Amino acid sequence: ELWSLARALVEAAPSGAAGDCNEGLMELGATICTPQSPRCLLCPLAEHCRAAAAGTQAARPVMPPRKRTPHYDVAAGIIWQGEPYRSRILIAQRPADGMLGGLWEFPGGKRDPEDVDLPACLRREIDEELAIAIEVGELLTTVKHAYTHFRITLHAFHARHRAGEPQAIGCTDWRWVDLGDLERFPF
């Protein structure tokens, strides 16, 4: 029914003026027929309006309830090969087929319900992703970020490599890099 109404409005417009008709309807919706406070007494289309006739204009438009945007706590490790700021840092490359595919990152991941705290989350994620043991140090920073369909709070920790040779299990590649060389990698 909406498409037939739209077609009728476009066809009723003078030749070549369909764009003007469309712009006029949009202006009407932006200034007169607004969702929060429709001004029906000023509307030139009020006599044709079904919502005004039924007295339901305040209930228009019918909006579906918004879905709650999921939020995730994410722990990431600035994993030093030795002493912080005096040694190399471990970075991992994300799988090509996933979100932010192919980019490099400081390894880590989402906190699971069974994780006691964020350091436990980070130790688990590093073990699963790279098969190494780390010692989690102090919290470096916390950053909040919103994507289109979820939000994260990223908690970045200093960490020190303790045991094992990194393996690309949950990532495509990994590298030990000097702090000054980080800018060469797309993050």
Instruction: Please identify, among 59, 82, 103, the residue that sits at the C-terminal boundary of a domain.
Output: 59
**Amino acid making up residue 124:** R
Looking only at the bridges linking them, the beta strands covering 151-163 and 133-146 are antiparallel
Tens digits of per-residue pLDDT, 106-137? Answer: 999 999 999 999 999 999 999 999 999 999 99
Q: What is the pLDDT at residue 139?
A: 98
> Does 64 fall in a domain?
no
The predicted model scores a pTM of: 0.67
Our CA angle for 6, 41, 8, nearest 5°, is 15
Which structural domain, as residue segments, surrounds residue 103? Answer: 71-184
Predicted local distance difference test score (pLDDT) of residue 91: 98
Residue 141's beta-bridge partner residues? 156
Are 94 and 172 in a shared domain? Answer: yes
- Asked if residue 100 is part of any domain, the answer here is yes
Tokens read off for 61: 């438009």
Instruction: With a cut of 50, list the residues of the chain below it in pLDDT.
Output: none
Phi-psi region of 183 (alpha: psi -120 to 50; beta: other; left: phi over 0): alpha
- Output DSSP code: residue 45: T
- 37, part of any domain: yes
Beta-carbon contacts of 123 under 8 Å, excluding residues fewer than 6 positions away, are 133, 134, 136
